[in-house]
A and B are shown apart, each in its own frame.
Chain A
Amino acid sequence: MSEPLFEIRDLKLHFPIYGGLLRHQIGSVKAVDGVSFDIFKGETLGLVGESGCGKSSCGRGLLRLSEPSSGEVVFDGRQVTALSHKEMRAIRTRMQMVFQDPQASLNPRMTVSEIISEPLNEHANLKRRALIARVCELMDAVGLNRAFLNRYPSSFSGGQRQRIGIARALALNPDFIVCDEPIAALDVSIQAQVVNLLKDLQEQFSLTYLFISHDLSMVRHIADRVAVMYLGKIVELADTELLYQRPSHPYSKALLSAVPGAVASRRADAPREVLKGDLPSPANPPKGCNFCTRCPHVMDICRTTEPELKAVAPGQYSACHLND
Chain B
Amino acid sequence: MPPRGLASERNNHWLPHPYPGVGFTDLRPLLKETDKMSNSHLEKPTTAGIHASAPLFEVRDLETVIHTRSGTVHAVNSVSFEINAGETLGVVGESGSGKSVTMMSLIRLLASPPVELRGGQVLLGGEDLLKLDEGALRDLRGKKVGFVFQDPMTSLNPVFTVGFQLMEPLRQHLGMSRRGAHDRAVELLALVGIPDPARRVDEYPHQFSGGMRQRVMIAMALACDPAVLIADEPTTALDVTIQAQIIELMRELQSKLGMAVIWVTHDLNVVREIADRVLVMYAGQVIEHGPVDALFAQPAHPYTRALLATMPRAGGAKQERLRAIEGMPPILTEAPQSCAFRARCGHARARCAQELPRRQPLSNGHDVACHYPLREVAEHV
Whether the Cβ atoms of A279 and B11 lie closer than 8 Å is no
- Measured CB to CB, the closest approach of chain A to B344, in angstroms, equals 10
Whether the Cβ atoms of B100 and A157 lie closer than 8 Å is yes
B-contact 0/1 string along A62-101, CB 8 Å cutoff: 0001000000000000000000000000000000000111
**Would you list which residues of chain B between 293 and 332 have a CB under 8 Å from chain A?**
306-307, 310-312, 314-315, 318-319, 321-325, 328, 331
> Measured between alpha carbons, how far is A257 from B182 in the docked complex, in Å?
36
- Contacts of A188 on B, CB cut-off 8 Å? 266, 268, 307, 310-312
Whether the Cβ atoms of B2 and A189 lie closer than 8 Å is no
Q: Is B150 interfacial (CB-CB < 8 Å)?
A: yes
Whether the Cβ atoms of B6 and A15 lie closer than 8 Å is no
Number of A-B contacts (CB under 8 A): 213
Whether the Cβ atoms of B10 and A104 lie closer than 8 Å is yes
- Contacts of B269 on A, CB cut-off 8 Å? 260-261
Whether the Cβ atoms of A101 and B95 lie closer than 8 Å is no
> Measured between alpha carbons, how far is A101 from B6 in the docked complex, in Å?
11
Partner pick for B245 among A118, A267, A274, CB 8 A cutoff: A274
Q: Is A52 interfacial (CB-CB < 8 Å)?
A: yes
Whether the Cβ atoms of B239 and A50 lie closer than 8 Å is yes
Q: Knowing A101-B153, A157-B100 are in contact, say whether A114-B5 is a contact too (CB < 8 A).
A: yes
Q: Which of A2-10, A38-46, A190-198, A316-324 contacts B (4 or more CB under 8 A)?
A: A190-198
Whether the Cβ atoms of A192 and B196 lie closer than 8 Å is no
Whether the Cβ atoms of A216 and B13 lie closer than 8 Å is no
- Contacts of A196 on B, CB cut-off 8 Å? 321-322, 324
> Measured between alpha carbons, how far is A214 from B214 in the docked complex, in Å?
14
Whether the Cβ atoms of B273 and A52 lie closer than 8 Å is no
- Contacts of B306 on A, CB cut-off 8 Å? 189
Partner pick for B240 among A101, A216, A241, A265, CB 8 A cutoff: A216
Whether the Cβ atoms of A118 and B3 lie closer than 8 Å is yes
> Measured between alpha carbons, how far is A52 from B237 in the docked complex, in Å?
10
- Measured CB to CB, the closest approach of chain B to A261, in angstroms, equals 4
- Contacts of A281 on B, CB cut-off 8 Å? 195-196, 199
Partner pick for B310 among A99, A189, A221, A267, CB 8 A cutoff: A189
Whether the Cβ atoms of B3 and A15 lie closer than 8 Å is no
Whether the Cβ atoms of B238 and A280 lie closer than 8 Å is no
Whether the Cβ atoms of A283 and B324 lie closer than 8 Å is no
Whether the Cβ atoms of B151 and A51 lie closer than 8 Å is no
> Measured between alpha carbons, how far is A65 from B312 in the docked complex, in Å?
33
Closest to B200 in A: A281
* Contact size range, A: 35 or more
- Contacts of B266 on A, CB cut-off 8 Å? 159, 185-188, 191
> Measured between alpha carbons, how far is A1 from B321 in the docked complex, in Å?
23
> Measured between alpha carbons, how far is A101 from B158 in the docked complex, in Å?
14
- Contacts of A114 on B, CB cut-off 8 Å? 5
- Contacts of B154 on A, CB cut-off 8 Å? 103-104
> Measured between alpha carbons, how far is A261 from B321 in the docked complex, in Å?
19
Q: Is A119 interfacial (CB-CB < 8 Å)?
A: yes
**Would you list which residues of chain A between 148 and 185 have a CB under 8 Å from chain B?**
150-151, 154-160, 168, 181, 184-185
- Contacts of B2 on A, CB cut-off 8 Å? 65
A-contact 0/1 string along B183-212, CB 8 Å cutoff: 000000000011110010000000111111
Whether the Cβ atoms of B41 and A267 lie closer than 8 Å is yes
- Contacts of B321 on A, CB cut-off 8 Å? 196, 199
How many of chain B's residues have a CB under 8 angstroms from any CB in A? Answer: 78
Whether the Cβ atoms of A106 and B6 lie closer than 8 Å is yes
**Secondary structure at chain B's binding surface: helix, strand, loop or mixed?**
loop
> Measured between alpha carbons, how far is A265 from B240 in the docked complex, in Å?
15
Whether the Cβ atoms of A185 and B150 lie closer than 8 Å is yes
Whether the Cβ atoms of A267 and B195 lie closer than 8 Å is no
Whether the Cβ atoms of B151 and A158 lie closer than 8 Å is yes
Q: Knowing A192-B310, A274-B248 are in contact, say whether A115-B331 is a contact too (CB < 8 A).
A: no
Whether the Cβ atoms of B210 and A271 lie closer than 8 Å is no
A-contact 0/1 string along B121-143, CB 8 Å cutoff: 00000000000000000000000
Whether the Cβ atoms of A192 and B210 lie closer than 8 Å is no
Pick the most buried of A106, A145, A267, A282: most chain B CB atoms within 10 A of its CB. A267
Whether the Cβ atoms of A52 and B212 lie closer than 8 Å is yes
Whether the Cβ atoms of B244 and A272 lie closer than 8 Å is yes
Partner pick for B5 among A106, A255, A266, A272, CB 8 A cutoff: A106
- Measured CB to CB, the closest approach of chain A to B79, in angstroms, equals 15
Whether the Cβ atoms of B211 and A51 lie closer than 8 Å is yes
Whether the Cβ atoms of B41 and A268 lie closer than 8 Å is yes
Q: Is A311 interfacial (CB-CB < 8 Å)?
A: no
A-contact 0/1 string along B56-74, CB 8 Å cutoff: 0000000000101010010
Q: Is B94 interfacial (CB-CB < 8 Å)?
A: yes
> Measured between alpha carbons, how far is A196 from B322 in the docked complex, in Å?
7
> Measured between alpha carbons, how far is A165 from B116 in the docked complex, in Å?
29
Q: Is B357 interfacial (CB-CB < 8 Å)?
A: no
- Contacts of B240 on A, CB cut-off 8 Å? 214, 216, 255, 258-260, 272
Q: Is A125 interfacial (CB-CB < 8 Å)?
A: no
Q: Knowing A103-B154, A214-B237 are in contact, say whether A189-B196 is a contact too (CB < 8 A).
A: no
> Measured between alpha carbons, how far is A286 from B306 in the docked complex, in Å?
48
Q: A114-B5, A115-B5, A259-B240 provided; 5 other pairs, C-beta below 8 A?
A: A52-B208, A147-B331, A159-B96, A195-B322, A255-B241
23 contacts between A and B (CB under 8 A): A51-B209, A51-B239, A51-B242, A99-B6, A100-B210, A101-B153, A107-B7, A119-B3, A119-B5, A155-B66, A160-B95, A184-B236, A187-B93, A188-B268, A190-B95, A191-B322, A214-B238, A258-B244, A265-B273, A267-B274, A271-B248, A272-B248, A275-B241
- Which 5 pairs between the two chains have the least Cβ-Cβ distance? A51-B211, A159-B95, A281-B196, A192-B322, A261-B314
* Chain B residues near A (Cβ < 8 Å): 2-7, 9-11, 13, 41-42, 66, 68, 70, 73, 92-96, 99-100, 150-154, 193-196, 199, 207-213, 215, 233, 236-242, 244-245, 247-248, 266-270, 272-274, 306-307, 310-312, 314-315, 318-319, 321-325, 328, 331, 381
